[in-house]
Structure 1
Amino acid sequence: MTILDTLFGLIPAQSRGQQWLAEELQLINWGGYDGGPHRVRFSPGATLLCGGSGSGKSTLMDAYIALMMPHTTPFNGASNGGVSGRARSGDQRNILSYGRGKIDESRTEEGTRMRVLRGDGRDTWTAVAMTWADHDGSRFTAVRAWYIPASARALEETVKVRGVVDGPFDLADLEQAAAQRLAAPALRAAGLETMATDREFLARIYSVLGIGAAGSGAKAMGLLARIQAGQQISTVDELYKRMVLEAPETLTAAEAVVAHFDELDATRERMVTAQKQVRALAPIRQMRERIEQAGERLRLIDRIGSFSQAGSRAALWRHERRLGLLREVEDELHGRKREADAVLREREAAARTAQAEYEAALEVVRHSGGGRLEAAERELRAVERRLEDVRRARERFAEATACLEARVTTEKDFAALARRARAELDRPRGRTALRSAYAEARARATALRRDLEEAQAERELARGRQDSIPTRLHDSRRMLAEAAGLSSSELPFVGELVEVRAEFEPWREAFNLALGGFATTLLIDAAHLERFREAINAVRTPARLRYEGVHTGLERRGEPDPRSLPGRLDYRETVFTGWLRDRLEQQFGFICVDSARELRDHPRALTLTGQVSQGGRGAHGGQGGRNVLGFSPHRRLEELDREISALRERAERAAREQERAEEDLDTMEARHGACARVLETDWAQIDVASVERERQRWSGVIAEVSSSSPRIAELQQRCAALQARVDGLREGIGRAKARQEQVEAQWAANTDAVDEAQTALDEAREEDGVILSEEEQAYLDGRFPLEEPAGTGSAPSPAARLERFDAALSTASRLVEEDRRSAMETVGQQREALRRTLEVFLDTWPNPSLRADPDTSLKDFERILQDLETSGLHELEAQWRNSLLRLSGNDLTNLDSSLSRARREIQERIAPVNRIMEDLPFYDDDHRLQISLHENQSEVRRRFRRELREVRGLIDAASSDAQREQAYGRMSRLIDRIRRDAPDVATLIDVRTHVRISAEKVHARTKEHAALYDHIGEKSGGESQELIAFIVGAALRYQLGDADAARPRYAVVFLDEALIKADARFTQRAIGAWRGLGFQLVIGAPNDKYSAIEPHVEAEYDILKDTRGRSWAKPKVALPGGGAVGQDGARGAG
């Protein structure tokens, strides 16, 4: 038996366990490998592929990936290191670019164009095949081929072939099939057994080659792909997690939990939406019913017609109803007539009897002296009436003349008062003077109030401005600016641009006097001057303004003399400032002096009081004027406050003077009125004393007569009683006659009305044939009821009912019109409400096939409502929420279990890997390498796990809708934390982040700790490669499913640009580690970095490329009887 002598001991070359080794790789039209087939035979131990950058090393390894890996596996990092995107997308190396042999890209008139070795404007094809050999001589070949039409832009547009052969296979046999676009019959004729899908193809390969345990071949191939990619890794933790551990099932479980919850919640949302839609559409039925009822009422009113229309149903009903009432009234009046006649006869008989008794008693009084007494009593009554009139006249006279303060008790007093009144009325001058004084006081008060209001308005405007210019000038400036299309800043006053410096504040009044009208001059850019003049020519302003065109943007020169007026001012920075400073220095450069004696010392000077001198000329006076300088409103506001205070005081004083003048005038007017009343009055009209004396005289006469005849009083009383009785009976007779006449008149009128109503009714029935329906009769009876409402007392009489009916008919047309208008308003309101309801529904749930039109779409919305109610979806929300809580709660429980299980699986994954490495010497024969795992403590993760359990408990304990709603809210927030885009989802769900993995070097015999391997970057390149080889190789043995076998069932491992940083010693140990684990290595390395690898391989190829972009593999250390054979026998088409 042949024994392999390795670093790790003697290993039998022939093992009873099955082991598949890569024997040969074939390529046709793959990348730079044009034509073919190109063949690369591999050593059972290790094969080296070396070449320059871009020569085609990675192209060979990508061929292996294209053959063995799913389409989601990206091609090697060396090929795609500078690009990003989806694996094998248009931005990366892909099947189309390899099949056409892409060289580079060039820019043409049509755009970017790809330069290729083949397939430019014509169809091409490509194929990759690998043959494996077992120790017992068995062969197995897998083939992938693609027919690429010239128009193909995506892999889906190609013809894909997936095939296997239980034995060797020559890709040259596909030439004839390629001519037939790789048709299935041609492939079968060539000896290929084809599969329809990648899943079937890879499952067949994994099954035959024994890749992966229990169907986990995809995981093993994924690990092989990561090993081949040769990723840069800095820590053992990262190495193990990226190279050995796949994505944990917890990520899938979390996504399933989220998807299940979203699916259930979406159904719940549909239920909630259905609820909202039912609530939104439920009112439309009542609205439709109201519209239909109002429409029916309108049609009914139209059929009834107008009461004023002779042949209408309304008129017919009126005639029928009124005729019935008139006949009832006729019967009532007949009875009342009999009653009135009997009452009249009774009262006339009683009156005749009482009159006879009265006349007899009166005769007795006359014989007893009653004539004189009767006359005295009659006179006394007349005097008492006159006394009452005189007293009222005296009271009115006293009230009218109270302002004269005169006491009038006799006719003499009255005459004196009349003389005074006439004399006062003859003096009109005093009255005229008072009227003039009142008019002057009123005018003065009104003027001061107006001045105060103007000052207050001026202050309000000044608060919003940054200057001291009066409002009238501002308003005038605004009118000119609007006419010229300019802003206020483009048309400033000089006073707005300057301010007196604080230290020279006492000079403010002097500067205002010196500048004079120049301070209120408008400045305008000379470029706008002509246009400005034309624009304002027709404008009328309240104040006359001066303006001057100036050159803007002039530079500021040096600072002016601080003794001069310009030097004691601050300037606002504008485009006008440069010109303004020049003008002030030229025209107003007055030197400020302290006394008038110093004026002669300067050509131009100014005193504090405002006197100026200019040589022999000068000016003075005008103090107390308004300040117009400054770009701050504070001083102007202070002036206005003082002015307003003074005006308010003067206005109050003037108001008091007006009140006094008005009081004086009112007093004078009252006295003149009283005097006129005195002259209009006669003493007899108000002489109460004379009338009282006359009353006393007649009272004495009556007393005298009564005392002389004692029985007269008794007889008079009897006469008075009899007279009163006679008068009462006569009044009763009058009332009875009036009642009788009234009843007779009513009976006559009622009889005429009965005849008229009967005639009208007969004519309506005979001529028009109108008949009232029950509905019309019920409407009119209900609209014009004749009976009193229940509970209001006794029933009304027929006459009252008729009166009430006539009163109702007087407004019948109005009432019916109100009904019509109300019905129309109901239709309009309900249609508008219906339209708004439909609009709100469509705004909330848009539907392009529906319109918010009550006329055209109402039935569609009612059908939607009926469908919703029929489905009952809106009634199941509470039940569904409970089910959602229960099901999602179970999902959370399963997720919690998955987290614990995935954590255990990591530990369980490490154990077999450690068992494999227990038999492999590491560093030397006395040491071994072991993987250790440590928990990463995280308070966030602990709280998350605790919340998982709490939410589950909360769901179980929820017994009311409020508790279930609370549980649902917490569960929803919890699930949001495990969504894919959640910020901490990896920390919570990816159990790989829950642990920290490191490697330990231990003593082989005692298992004692010797060294810790955590950060790979801290080790040398060779040490790193040896460490990676041990860890990844052992994990690969486990992943391939034959950890307990003498050697792996699938031995092929591709390493792209690996082992290039190690020296000879560590390279030997790394390769020895791989081979000691029983793997067959295919190593890619650049030309300048393979020297340490070369002594440890049995086969070596130089990868070459010519100037046309064609690549081939040239054997450097060939296997016996083999090599790389191309189309031309030496290097293919190259």
Structure 2
Amino acid sequence: GCFSFVHHGSILLEKGASSKSGAVQLPLLDRISTIERQIREAREGNTTLLQISTQIEKQKKLVDDADKELRQATRAHDSILDQIKTSTQKLESLLQDASIVPLTPHQVSGLDERFAKQSDAVRLDNVDKVATTVERGLNTEISEIKEEIADCEKEIETRFADFKRQWPMDAGDMDTSLASAQDYFAKLVRLETDGLPAYEQRFFELLQNQSHQNLAALSTYLNDARKAILERMDLVNDSLGQVPFNQSTNQRTYLHIDASDRQLVDVKELKQEIQQALSHAWTEDREFAEARFLALRRLVDRLASQDPEQKRWRETVLDVRQHVEFIGREIDESGVEVEIYRSGAGKSGGQRQKLATTCLAAALRYQLGGNDHGLPMYAPVVLDEAFDKADNEFTALAMNIFTNFGFQMVVATPLKSVMTLEPFIGGACFVDISDRRVSGVLLIEYDGDRQRLKLPEHAREAAGVEAS
């Protein structure tokens, strides 16, 4: 009751068959083993079957490997399709982004060149990395260019500041920021279109002629002013030589005022600069002429400056009166020097008063006197409370000094000095004030022949007692 089939060394038992006892099963198993052994022996003994079996096993492995590769390729294909779909959607989204600015042909060419220089070829999997590298390089170059631009802007603004400082009138109200660049460039264009180089020869001609003339005029002014001081001091000394400064029974002295250079450093440097400029005024060397022009411009700018320190310097170098100092020399009739007066230090009150009065008269004569005439251009000198504390000798001396200098004296003096002043006046009046409110004037006649006032004798005696 059992059927068996043999297929490639396998035994298939029909379903539903069963053995009734273990005794029945054992012969069947033995039979199966025998059949399998026979089949194996037949196969192994048959070379052709053995080769076919081996080929079948190899083919099965190839089929399994091919099937496995097919499944892997299918999965990869599906994955790539998903990536293509995702990338396509992303690309479409980017293309629709309004914030993306279309690149110019120059930008496209530049980016292509930069991407081509990268060590890694651009692929989909590394495009972000390569783009980041290119972007980093661009940012570095942008930073460097910005620094160069900042340096250039600073240099340009420095040039603007130099132009405005050197030519403030031409710069006008333009500031030194880059915003005024167009104004400066427009001025440059005007200078170029006006043909400024055509005036270069004219400039050098004026530099030679006018600067030489002006410098010579300045030098002449300084020399003439100093000469005028010396000439006018000769007039002063002539007047001082007519009136004794000190007089005694044995000796009569006169005051003589000498002028000497103070040797100021600023004045010495200015004169040296003028002489150097004049000595090379006719040079044909353009570079030397331009250097000379710059030196002259610095000198002119300094002379025209309103800075307090420069104004002090200008007054020092141009006021020739400050270039000399005056020394009083007291000499006797034989020309022997008795004493030197640089100031009134160390002198008594009377000596200082006498020296001050003499110098005052000399200074007035110097200021008001001219070189072409002997008398002062303005002669009246008013002295209030004159000689109120001076003795008769000094009063007479002072009046003699002022009279010999050609001044007209208008003197208000107490009664005690009237007798001393009589020989030096041509008329008088008496002023009286009552209760500090009412004043009156009484004219007094003057005797020109006797050079004295026509006063009653008792009034003259009273004045003499008061004076004593």
Q: TM-score, normalised by structure 2?
A: 0.47
Query: Quick one: higher RCO (CA 8 Å, sep 6+), 1 or 2?
Result: 1
